[in-house]
Amino acid sequence: MSTRILLTLLSTLFTISLGVGLTGMILDSATAMRTGILATTTTATGLICTTLRHTARLTDREREDIHNAGYKLGLQHVTLGLLDTPPSGGTVVPIRPALPRQHERQAQ
Please report whether residue 64 resides in a domain. no
Cα gap 26→33, rounded to integer Å: 9
Q: Determine the average pLDDT of the residues in 12-34.
A: 94
Number of structural domains found in the chain: 1
Helix 3-26 and helix 30-56: axis angle, to 10°?
160
Please report whether residue 53 resides in a domain. yes
Please report whether residue 49 resides in a domain. yes
Please report whether residue 67 resides in a domain. no
Please report whether residue 68 resides in a domain. no
- Tell me, what's the pLDDT at 16? 95
- Tell me, what's the pLDDT at 70? 87
- Tell me, what's the pLDDT at 81? 75
Residue 92: Cβ-neighbour burial (10 angstroms; 0-12, 13-18, 19+): exposed
What range defines the domain where residue 51 resides?
1-59
Nearest to 23, CA basis, from 32, 35, 14, 34: 32
Which residue type does 83 have?
Answer: L
Please report whether residue 84 resides in a domain. no
